[in-house]
Amino acid sequence: MKLFALDFLKAKSWRKKIIPIAIGMIGTFALFLLVLLSLASSNTEFFDNYFIWLYAANVIIGICLTLVILILVAVIAVRWYRGHFGTRLIAKLAMIFALVGVVPGLILYGVSLQFVSRSIETWFDVKVESALEAGLELGRATLSSSLLELQDEGRIVIDQIRGIPNHASPAELTLLLSRMRDQFKRLLRRLPQAHY
């Protein structure tokens, strides 16, 4: 039984199968983590509760992928040292794939970093702050003038009500109040709607 276990570990077929199996398992787990991360970004409560676990799992997967890459580089180096056929071609292909994967990623990272750092600087720019303050002051002035206009109109309505003679008929009072109500409604429609 013990002899079978040692033969299994020494067999070349096992060594050839373990790397694709490990890469497949790590890739599946990484895809699972990507799905979890996308779900977590849409559900902030889930993200808050499990952020540490998601972060740790992503770090572990990153370490595993780095180990797989280092193992494959070591395998290529050993094959090169032993002079196996096709090793130079494999090394060249590995370097090309590394450049194709790393260089665009670095360029994208650099552009994104510049965009974010410059856009954050504009959030705290003096010009933007002064423009926001000017807009706020303009809104306050508009609201203040509308309020003064409404108060003036209210005083006019009060003066008209006070000017009604005491012996006025109910029909005259109804007509006068209806005119005042229509005039007041027109004034209210002209005022800006402020919700604070």
Q: How many whole angstroms separate alpha carbon 89 and alpha carbon 68?
A: 20
Q: How many whole angstroms separate alpha carbon 71 and alpha carbon 77?
A: 10
pLDDT at 4: 47
Four-residue CA torsion sign, 163, 168, 170, 175: negative
The proportion of the chain whose per-residue pLDDT surpasses 90, expressed as a percent, equals 2
Q: How many whole angstroms separate alpha carbon 4 and alpha carbon 21?
A: 22
Higher pLDDT, residue 31 or 10:
31
Q: Where are the domains of the chain?
A: 1-84, 87-124, 129-190
pLDDT at 126: 66
**Other beta carbons less than 10 A from residue 118's beta carbon:** 9
- For residue 111, which amino acid is it? V
How does the average pLDDT of the chain come out, rounded? 78
Q: How many whole angstroms separate alpha carbon 32 and alpha carbon 28?
A: 6
Residue 84 φ/ψ, nearest 5 degrees: -70, 150
Task: Tell me the pLDDT band of 13, cut-offs 50, 70 and 90.
Answer: low
Q: Where are the alpha helices (DSSP H) in the chain?
A: 2-10, 12-42, 44-82, 87-123, 126-162, 170-190
Tell me what the mean pLDDT of segment 127-149 comes to.
85
CA 9 vs. chain centroid, Å, equals: 49
Residue 190's contacts (CB-CB under 8 Å, 6 or more residues apart) are: 146
Higher pLDDT, residue 15 or 141:
141
Residue 37's contacts (CB-CB under 8 Å, 6 or more residues apart) are: 54, 58
> pLDDT tens for residues 41-79?
676 776 777 778 878 888 888 898 888 889 888 988 998
Nearest to 19 by CA among 71, 54, 63: 71
Q: Which two tokens stand for residue 44?
A: 């902030």
Task: Tell me the pLDDT band of 121, cut-offs 50, 70 and 90.
Answer: low
> pLDDT tens for residues 84-112?
888 889 889 888 988 888 888 889 888 88
Nearest to 64 by CA among 11, 21, 95: 21
Tell me what the mean pLDDT of segment 5-17 comes to.
60
pLDDT at 196: 41
pLDDT at 137: 92
The proportion of the chain whose per-residue pLDDT surpasses 70, expressed as a percent, equals 80
> pLDDT tens for residues 153-170?
778 877 877 777 777 777
Residue 16's contacts (CB-CB under 8 Å, 6 or more residues apart) are: none
Tell me what the mean pLDDT of segment 24-34 comes to.
82
Q: How many whole angstroms separate alpha carbon 185 and alpha carbon 166?
A: 26
